Amino acid sequence: MDKLDNKQVLMIISPVVITFFCVIILLHIKFKPSLSPLEQTLYGFSHQKLQVTKRLPVTITVLEMPIHMEDVPLKTGYPQVPLEKIAPVEKEMEIRVSLILINGGRKIAIINGNVLKEGDIFNQNIVAKIEKNRVLIKDKKGERWIRID
């Protein structure tokens, strides 16, 4: 092994010496407390300083129900009409594919008058895949293939 010259020794020892002096300096620095005097008294709070003078037993005589059932009429005011007539179920919107264009890696379809590509979303439906004569649509109910008109 070659002997270490002065520069190499200095490079090895200097981080240790600098760290040592930084620690010494930081130990001698006095920081101003960031808490107000009131906060300092609260910080020194101890539950042992408190004294309970007298404990009184708690007695519960009567528990009342928070809801009075005699005030609530049973099955009055409810509509006698079936729910389907009040809130009709929405009909599923018809999806029509009018054009499919595939050019290299680019796939575009015109669905209900909108130009869409794979991964696009329309009316809560996702265009999952576009093929030569059909389009795969995914929605809450599942998947379905729509053929070109």
Structural domain boundaries of the chain? 97-147
pLDDT in tens, 99-146: 999 988 899 999 999 999 999 998 889 999 999 899 999 988 899 999
> Residue 46: is its pLDDT beyond 70?
no
pLDDT in tens, 61-85: 777 777 776 766 666 666 677 777 7
> Residue 1: is its pLDDT beyond 60?
no
* Full 3-state SS string of the chain: CCCCCHHHHHHHHHHHHHHHHHHHHHHHCCCCCCCCHHHHHHHCCCHHHCCCCCCCCCCCCCCCCCCCHHHCCCCCCCCCCCHHHHCCCCCCCCCCEEEEEEECCEEEEEECCEEEECCCEECCEEEEEECCCEEEEEECCEEEEEEEC
